[in-house]
Amino acid sequence: MLPGSEAGGSKGPGVNGGRNRFYELSKEVLQRIISFLPSGEAVQTMLRSLRITNAGDYPSANEMNLFVNMFLLFTNPRPLHLVEINTYPCAPDDDSKESLRYLELWVRNCLQRGAQVLEVHNTVANYWQLDHGLLSSKPQHLRVLDLLHVEMKGVLNNLKIRCLDFSSCPALEDLMMTDCKIEASLIVSPSLKRLSLKCCHFNQAARARISVPKLVFLILASCKGRTPVLGNMPYLVSGFVRLQADMDCCENKYETGYCKACSGCHDSIVGGSVILEALSGATHLDLTSIQTQFIFRKDLTQCPLFSKLKILLLNEWCVTLSLDALHCLLQHCPILEKLTPIS
């Protein structure tokens, strides 16, 4: 029986104040012992060795790091299904380096063990920079990736374009990114089916391009920087796009953003669609924007045919003085069944 168990009516010396004999065992012996335990018991055994009562009650980021490193090192390296990683919640004024110190090591270990669902939630003030090498290491089993407060720069491709390429994740179908800093100019995934980008930060100088041809569900909500250009999505069923006030607002109040004189109209892609063309095959669309945002109205100057659209939700952006935007949109929705205005 391991030290700290209640068998025999006594507690191990590592608990009552004596030296912690857990550390006197060799790595091989520890791994052998813990490998026989179910994961729940393995966790409790290592918590006792660190004199921690419950998982989550870590007195410091260092203690949490020690526990996670022990768990990954000593438990049986059997394949993983679901992995949730939350950084140690340090105070805003504290140094967050210790909270992020081993994050890359943990993610790499989980991917090597075949994790299918990976959640990495960074709760400290500083962004955690995701090494693109983790994605290019070909994690064959990864199906779901959920990231919070992560910086992603991508790598330069053959055309010298900074690219966030998920092609080496052939099973990836779900990607959720919240409050992430995306510095890549191109995002590519040939397998992705569901994409959620919420409160993310895109480049302010030029638009990023997103190529996800198998996508069926899209959320693009309240992101900052320039609105990304969406590539062809022939299988899209449902799309939710919420545009906020940021870079794509004309300082001279041109409704379609073609003044060519202000920073907001820079890179407005004259003659090309940013959002609507890619969404034209969907059956359900929720399109909301503040009045000063011109992307939707700009795209309507070359409005595509929404041949499958049945449900449409809109807000104030389409209400112009002449109502041309709303009229144009309805003319290009031949089988629309439900139009819902949102205040």
Residues 44-73 have a mean pLDDT of 65
Both 155 and 24 in a single domain? no
Residue 4 reports pLDDT greater than 70: no
Q: Both 172 and 289 in a single domain? A: yes
- Is 138 found in the same domain as 87? yes
Q: Does residue 88 share a domain with residue 73?
A: no
Angle at 37 between CA 76 and CA 3, to 5 degrees: 115
Q: When comparing pLDDT for 142 and 43, which is higher?
A: 142
Residue 56 has pLDDT above 60, yes or no: no
Q: What is the pLDDT of residues 82-111, one digit of tens each?
A: 999 999 887 665 668 889 999 999 999 999
Domain, as residue range, for 289: 78-341
pLDDT-derived band at 175, boundaries 50, 70, 90 = very high
Residue where one domain finishes, among candidates 77, 110, 128: 77
Write out pLDDT tens, residues 215-247: 999 999 999 999 999 999 999 999 999 998 677
Q: Which amino acid is at 317?
A: W
Q: Note whether 60 and 168 are same-domain residues.
A: no
Of 22, 45, 77, the one marking the end of a domain is: 77
- Residue 46: name the closest of 78, 28, 77, 23 by CA: 23
CA distances from 108 to 112, 135, 204 (A): 6, 9, 31
Residue pLDDT, tens place only, 259-279:
665 666 665 555 589 999 999
Total tally of structural domains belonging to the chain: 2
Q: Is the same domain home to 130 and 175?
A: yes
Say what the pLDDT of residue 241 is. Answer: 97
Please check whether residues 208 and 308 belong to one and the same domain: yes
- Predicted confidence band at 50 (pLDDT cuts at 50, 70, 90)? very low
pLDDT > 50? residue 314: yes
Same domain, 16 and 86: no
84 plus 111 within the same structural domain: yes
- Farthest CA pair distance, the chain: 85
Domain end among 59, 77, 95: 77
Q: Quick one: 182 and 331 in the same domain?
A: yes
pLDDT for 2: 36
Residue 254 has a pLDDT of: 65
65 and 158 in a single domain? The answer is no
Can you tell me the mean pLDDT for 203-224? 95
Does 82 lie in the same domain as 64? no
pLDDT of residue 339: 96
Q: Residue 290 contacts by C-beta under 8 Å, 6 or more apart in sequence? A: 243, 244, 245, 316, 317
Please compute the mean of the pLDDT values over residues 23-42 and round it to a whole number.
Answer: 58
Tell me how far CA of residue 73 lies from CA of 42, 65, 208, in angstroms.
12, 12, 40
Domain with residue 186: its CATH number is 3.80.10
The whole-angstrom separation of Cα 32 and Cα 35 is: 5
Task: Report the chain's mean pLDDT, rounded to a whole number.
Answer: 82
